[in-house]
Amino acid sequence: MKVLVAVKRVVDYNVKVRVKSDGSGIDTAGVKMSMNPFDEIAVEEAVRLKEKGAATEIVAVSCGVAACGETLRTAMAIGADRGVLVESEAELQPLAVAKLLKAVVEKEGAQLVILGKQAIDDDSNQTGQMLAALLGWSQATFASKVELDGTQAKVTREVDGGLETIAVKLPAVITTDLRLNEPRYVTLPNIMKAKKKPIDTLKPEELGVDVSPRLKTLKVAEPPKRGAGVKVPDVGTLVDRLKTEAKVI
Amino acid sequence: MTALVIAEHDNQVLKPSTLNTIAAALLCDPQVHVLVAGQNCAAVAQAAAQAAGVSKVLCADAPQLAAGLAEASAAQVLALAPSYSHILAPATAFGKNIAPRVAALLDVAQVSDIIHVHSPDTFDRPIYAGNAIATVQSSDKIKVITVRTTGFDPVAATGGTAEVSSVDAVADAGLSSLVGRETTKSERPELTAAKIIVSGGRGLGSKENFEAVMTPLADKLGAAMGASRAAVDAGYAPNDWQVGQTGKIVAPQLYVAVGISGAIQHLAGMKDSKVIVAINKDEEAPIFGVADYGLVADLFTAVPEMVKQI
């Protein structure tokens, strides 16, 4: 079974982002970028499926600017066999990415697609669900455990209030939650090997997909600042302030 | 036109998140309908009909809708969608699973996790773990939206007098089925609806300490218990207690952070709380940057002392 993994290049999760003063967006110039953490978990899961013999080939796909090629190299250093870069300078929103991925899935004949549950930049949590819808496939979102058995996948999902296990028919789309696995560190030899693995570059036009954004961002602003707090010297003062000043207990 | 709210429920009880979603829907359109899709869910439909501001409840009752699975639920919503200008779901695990599937089938964008409605087509939503707020405008004919429940006060659960009408259930495509559920049993208030939350981090050191230190405080305050990702990953607390960008988003009256340093991802989940208290022995911890009241102290002495004094 061929597995497709979608990976996104995002501002590194440790970076404290800055809003541009003209309100047009986030300042990403010179900021460290890396693979979306949930996507690392997705790649790791695909590699584990291959190591168990359940997957035959892993294709990593990324949509965006040419620099997304680096993200694909990281995926290949973790263990993906090859990469597909859908190159576009345009702002790609989840619906457009889902359409691009659908075209790549059909071109590649993949049976399983694994994505992160959300990207830490736009925090949308949409692409996997949208892809499943467009393909007419089943979906298993927020996965914390995946077991493939022949024609179906048994997936444990993290839901509000606990866990839920569902059985989905293959082909299917799975999105990863944090606790699905611990992604492995990439080793230097594997980084070197990844440089030799092939990357195909495609354009949205070749795939026949219109990527024009559907949502218009009017403005990006800093969130309201909280008023400066106080440090209290001891527990007694704290409890007293909560009772008499904040009146919350 | 009319706004449709997808009700979250367990076939017996209407989840409070639905009431917050109705509040957001009323800001988009004065006419709000609620869809209750499930099995043997008449009681839920009745409860939805009593929610303030609802003008009609649609009830779809069929076995394939019992578990709220995405494939069957989305197909059900899609069948009704053409009559509506807005389709809203709570931004909970339930709503996030279904809404994007509906949006893609309608070929429209989805607006995730809105916290403010400017006008029927313009919304605010947080991005980058809440470090920026984007104002977005949708030009799609049907707006599919998920609602951050802490961003909107719930409508009253009673006082409404909507009629309940049943709608035909859409045939099952048989793509998925529920195997089982493991719910964390708790007598405490639900995390996302609690007025007070006490939350523990890596500073607690072990599962035993977490329970020994945090439980008496939660009991005394009648609070829900939360945790940072570090505490959950270390096994001190169950997954669904996690507060943060990738866990629950909460905004209680009082949030007590104990032994939590305050990473960006954690702050994203709690910084809209009315009053934040931080107890941490590291006075440089970022949590003190958002805390209204900070106490630099060893939590193992400070928390039991606090329990005694409340």
Same domain, residue pair B44 and B146: yes
Last residue of a domain, one of B131, B151, B166: B166
Closest CA to B86 of B149, B5, B167: B5
Q: Domain span at residue B97?
A: 3-166
On whether the CB atoms of residues B221 and B309 are closer than 8 A, the answer is no
Mutate which of A33, A154, A216, A238 to test chain B, going by most B C-beta atoms within 10 A?
A238
Greatest pairwise CA separation for chain B in angstroms:
61
Q: How far apart are CA B249 and CA A17, in angstroms?
A: 20
Predicted-assembly ipTM surpassing the 0.85 threshold: yes
Q: Which residues of B touch A165 (CB under 8 A)?
A: 178-182
> Is residue B89, in this structure, part of any structural domain at all?
yes
Residue B260: CA count within 13 A, CB half-sphere: 37
Number of other residues whose CB lies within 10 A of the CB of residue A17: 18
B30 and B142 in a single domain? The answer is yes
CA-CA distance, A183 to A43, in Å (whole number)?
A: 8
Same domain, B262 and B121: no
**Residues of B within the annotated binding site for FAD?**
202, 228-229, 242-246, 259-266, 280
For chain B, helix, strand, coil in percent to 5 are 35, 30, 35
Residue B207 sits in the same domain as residue B296: yes
Subunit contact B233:A179, Cβ cutoff 8 A: yes
- Token pair listed for A113: 């697609």
Percent of chain B with pLDDT over 90: 97
Report if residue B177 sits inside a domain.
no
Query: Would B180 be classed as within a structural domain?
Result: no
Q: Chain A: nearest CA to B22, how far in angstroms?
A: 20
Contacts of B193 in chain A (CB under 8 A): none
**Residue B148: closest CA among B99, B114, B110, B111:** B114
Asked if residues B174 and A152 have their Cβ atoms less than 8 Å apart, the reply is no
CA B193 to CA B17: how far, in whole Å? 8
Q: How far apart are alpha carbons A10 and A32 in whole angstroms? A: 9
Closest chain B residue by Cα to residue A98: B104
- d(CA B96, CA B144) in angstroms, rounded, equals 11
Same domain, B153 and B201: no
- Return the closest-CA partner of residue A9 out of A46, A43, A36: A36
Question: Using an 8 Å Cβ cutoff, are B47 and B34 in contact?
Answer: no
Contact B134 A160 (CB under 8 A): no
Boundary of a domain, candidates B151, B166, B181 = B166
Interchain proximity A232–B310, CB inside 8 Å = no
Interface of B with A in 243-262 (CB under 8 A): 245-246, 248, 253-254
Query: Is B184 inside a domain boundary?
Result: no
Place of tokens 């219109």: A210
- In a shared domain, residues B162 and B57: yes
Same domain, B7 and B122: yes
Considering the domain boundaries, does residue B174 fall inside one?
no
Examine the domain organization and report whether B121 and B210 are in the same domain.
no
- Sort out which chain B residues have CB atoms less than 8 A from A217's CB and list them: 134-136
| Residue for token pair 């009256």 | B253
- Note whether residue B138 is domain-resident: yes
Q: Do both B123 and B224 map to the same domain?
A: no
Please check whether residues B147 and B220 belong to one and the same domain. no
Contact assignment for A157 to B175 by CB distance below 8 Å: no
- Torsion sign across C-alpha atoms A88, A90, A94, A98: negative
Among candidate residues B166, B181, B208, the one where a domain is terminated? B166
Q: To probe the interface with B, which of A235, A237, A240 has the most B CB atoms within 10 Å?
A: A235
CB contact under 8 A, B293 and A230: yes
If one compares A226 and B178, the residue with the highest pLDDT of the two is B178
Query: How far is the C-alpha of B278 from the C-alpha of B80, rounded, in Å?
Result: 47
Instruction: Provide the shortest C-alpha distance from residue A47 to chain B (in Å).
Output: 22
**CA triple B130-A12-B235, angle to 5 deg:** 75
**Residue B139 falls in which region: left (phi positive, over 0), alpha (psi -120 to 50) or beta:** alpha
Q: How far apart are CA B270 and CA A119, in angstroms?
A: 19
Give the model confidence (pLDDT) of B38-72 as tens digits: 999 999 999 999 999 999 999 999 999 999 999 99
> Which pLDDT belongs to residue B137?
98
Give B-chain residues touching A138 at CB under 8 angstroms: 71, 175-176
B306 touches chain A (CB under 8 A): yes
Q: CA of B47 to nearest chain A CA: how many angstroms apart?
A: 21
A215/B111 Cβ within 8 A: yes
CA proximity to B47, closest of B13, B78, B20, B73: B13
Strand partners for B59: B36, B166
* The pairing of beta strand B32-38 with beta strand B3-6: parallel
**Which residues of B are less than 8 Å from A222 in CB distance?**
132-133
What are φ and ψ of residue B210, in 5° steps? -55, -50
Quote the pLDDT of residue A226. Answer: 87
Q: Confidence band (pLDDT; 50, 70, 90) for B184?
A: confident
Answer whether B305 sits within 8 Å of A235, measured CB to CB: yes
Same domain, B206 and B122: no
Residue in chain A nearest B70 by alpha carbon: A139
Average pLDDT, whole number, for chain B?
97
Looking up residue B143, the CATH number of its domain turns out to be 3.40.50.620
Q: Does B122 touch chain A (CB under 8 A)?
A: yes
Q: For residue B268, is pLDDT > 90? A: yes
pLDDT tens digits, B185-232 = 788 999 998 999 999 999 999 999 999 999 999 999 999 999 999 999
Helices (H), B170-297: 207-221, 229-233, 264-270
Q: Is B159 found in the same domain as B260?
A: no
Nearest to A229 among B104, B183, B294 (CB): B294
CA proximity to B175, closest of A137, A153, A110, A128:
A137
Query: Which chain A positions have a beta carbon within 8 Å of B122's beta carbon?
Result: 218
Residue type, B101: R
Look at residues B172, B51, B125, B30 and name the one whose alpha carbon lies nearest to residue B9.
B51
Q: What is the pLDDT of residues B77-125, one digit of tens each?
A: 999 999 999 999 999 999 999 999 999 999 999 999 999 999 999 999 9
Alpha carbons B71 and A167: distance in angstroms, whole number? 12
Is B173 domain-assigned?
A: no
Kindly state whether residue B179 falls inside one of the protein's structural domains: no
Strands A230-231 and B293-296: parallel
Predicted local distance difference test score (pLDDT) of residue B65: 98
Residue B57 CB coordination number (10 Å): 25
pLDDT of residue B186: 80
* Residue B244: CATH number of its domain: 3.40.50.1220
Distance CA A82, CA A71 (A): 12
B100 and A94 within 8 Å at the Cβ level: the answer is: yes
pTM: 0.96
**Cα(B31)–Cα(B29) distance, integer angstroms:** 5
User: In which band, very low, low, confident or very high, does the pLDDT at B291 lie, cut at 50, 70 and 90?
Assistant: very high
Backbone angles phi, psi at A246, to 5 degrees: -80, -25
CA distance A92 to chain B (A): 12
pLDDT tens, position by position, for chain A (249 residues)?
Answer: 999 999 999 999 999 999 999 999 999 999 999 999 999 999 999 999 999 999 999 999 999 999 999 999 999 999 999 999 999 999 999 999 999 999 999 999 999 999 999 999 999 999 999 999 999 999 999 999 999 988 999 999 999 989 999 999 999 999 999 999 999 999 999 999 999 999 999 999 999 999 999 999 999 999 998 888 999 999 999 999 999 999 998
Work out how many domains chain B is built from and give that number.
Answer: 2
Q: Which residues contact A6 (CB under 8 A, 6 or more apart)?
A: A39, A42, A60, A61, A62, A63, A97, A101, A113, A114, A115, A116, A127
